[in-house]
Amino acid sequence: MTVLVEARDLSRYYGPVVGLNDLTLALDEGVTGLLGPNGAGKSTFLKLVAGEIRPSRGSLRVLGYAPFANREYFRRVGFCPQQDALYGEMTGLEFVVFLLRLSGHGKSDARRLAQRAIERVRLEEAMDRRTRGYSKGMRQRIRLAQAIAHEPRFLIVDEPMTGLDPLARREMSALFAELAAEGVSILISSHILHEVEGLTRNVVLLHRGRLLAQGPVPEIRKLLSRHPRKVEIGARDARSLAAALLGLDHVLSVRLAPGGDSVQLETRDLDRFWSELPRIAATARAGIHTLDSSDANLEAVFDYLVV
């Protein structure tokens, strides 16, 4: 496999703030998930890879190029940034065509490629509407459309699932899988392990600007699974739910919240818990209305790993 991204002692500082610290890694072609809690350095790493900012120290080569302000490199990559910014006065189609034309495509070619990309992100019905009227999900899709429209070899996507509903997330995942099958390498960031897991086995874990782990998801999950995970469930009948949950062998503790309207539990197998919860909820007729696993947020997992 060809090395796609090669970072050596890569650091990036924003004044006194450390965005990324002495990162050395090599990413192969294919799909790679970049994981870490907020402030881990994911966006900094992606901005460096996308050529938006320069390293403060160390070196970075992507597809053999130094990315910053490199026009040859930009012909080969697509970048879908996290920030929710668009040209509001343009329609979705105009937006993508405009950026394609800036990439050197002729008018008709740009229109054809833009329409194709917009169809791929399933936004064709809204492509003639001004983007200022787009919903969050539509805005995310059009940003992705501009990133894939010029058919890049390497796609960089920063937190693409944020703000999307479950159906849109599934569609987005399917699109990434499709692109990967076509041979496009993808670097995708997220702070939710589960999101990335559906797309790739290869994961890079960052924490406080440093590389924490790199490798296949199952190995990393194994590491995480040793840590008991907390879940809070809000339910109409929290008491009967708590009783039902006590019957699960992987549940270590169950506690009713002071108000009596939610259950707090600890499990040593979060995956099994999620798969068994619908059955338990149906049996107990507990009327679940909220679910919160603070541990699902990688922050807690990372805190555990770092300690």
Partner 1 sequence: MLLLLRTSALLFRTHLARLAWSRRTLVCALLAALGPLVAFLIAAASRKTNASEIAVHVGYLLQLQVIVPVLALVAGSAAVAEEVEDRTITFLFSRPLPRASVLLGRWSAILVFLTVLLAASTWLLLAAAGRAKGPPLDDGIREPLLAAVLAGGAVYSALFAVLGVFVRSPVIVGLGYAFAIEGFLANMPAGTQSLTIQYYLRSMIAGLGSSQWSAVEGFASTSFEPLPRALTTLSIVLVAALALGAWRITRREFVLSS
Backbone φ and ψ for 7, nearest 5 degrees, come out as -115, 135
Q: Which span sits near partner 1 by CB under 8 A: 25-33, 81-89, 205-213, 243-251?
A: 81-89
Shortest distance (Å) from residue 75 CB to partner 1:
5
Q: Report whether 273 contacts 293 (CB < 8 A).
A: no
Q: Which span sits near partner 1 by CB under 8 A: 46-54, 111-119, 193-201, 285-293?
A: 46-54
Q: Which helix (H) or strand (E) holds 231?
A: strand 229-235
Shortest distance (Å) from residue 71 CB to partner 1:
4
Residues 6+ apart with CB under 8 A from 243: 284
Name which of 52 and 299 has its Cβ closer to partner 1.
52
- Tokens representing 185 are 């390498």
| C-alpha angle 190-156-20 in degrees, rounded to nearest 5 | 65
Among 25, 53, 212, 256, binds partner 1 (CB under 8 A): 53
Binding letters toward partner 1, positions 4-43, x by CB under 8 A: ----------x----------------------------x
Q: Which helix (H) or strand (E) holds 29?
A: none
Terminal Cα-to-Cα distance of the chain (whole angstroms): 34
- Tokens representing 275 are 């798969």
Q: Could you give the CA distance from residue 231 to residue 107 in angstroms, rounded to a whole number?
A: 53
Name which of 77 and 286 has its Cβ closer to partner 1.
77
Shortest distance (Å) from residue 85 CB to partner 1:
4
Is 158 an interacting residue with respect to partner 1 (CB under 8 A)?
yes
Is 239 an interacting residue with respect to partner 1 (CB under 8 A)?
no
Is 56 an interacting residue with respect to partner 1 (CB under 8 A)?
no
Shortest distance (Å) from residue 90 CB to partner 1:
8
Among 37, 51, 209, 234, binds partner 1 (CB under 8 A): 51
| Strands, E assignment, the chain | 3-14, 17-28, 31-35, 57-62, 77-80, 154-158, 185-190, 202-207, 210-216, 229-235, 251-256, 262-267, 288-292
Q: Report whether 126 contacts 159 (CB < 8 A).
A: no
Is 182 an interacting residue with respect to partner 1 (CB under 8 A)?
no
Name which of 155 and 217 has its Cβ closer to partner 1.
155
Q: Report whether 212 contacts 306 (CB < 8 A).
A: yes
Shortest distance (Å) from residue 136 CB to partner 1:
15
Among 3, 26, 69, 306, binds partner 1 (CB under 8 A): 69
Q: Report whether 265 contacts 230 (CB < 8 A).
A: yes
Name which of 74 and 273 has its Cβ closer to partner 1.
74
Backbone φ and ψ for 67, nearest 5 degrees, come out as -70, -35
Q: Could you give the CA distance from residue 80 to residue 147 in angstroms, rounded to a whole number?
A: 5
Binding letters toward partner 1, positions 86-125, x by CB under 8 A: xxxx--------xx-xxxx---------------------
Q: Could you give the CA distance from residue 253 to residue 262 in angstroms, rounded to a whole number?
A: 14
Alpha-carbon torsion 45, 143, 197, 305, what sign?
positive
Shortest distance (Å) from residue 105 CB to partner 1:
11
Among 9, 24, 28, 54, binds partner 1 (CB under 8 A): 54
Rg (C-alpha) for the chain, rounded Å, is 22
Is 85 an interacting residue with respect to partner 1 (CB under 8 A)?
yes
- The site for partner 1 (CB under 8 A) is made up of 14, 43, 50-54, 68-69, 71-72, 74-75, 77, 79, 81-83, 85-89, 98-99, 101-104, 146, 158
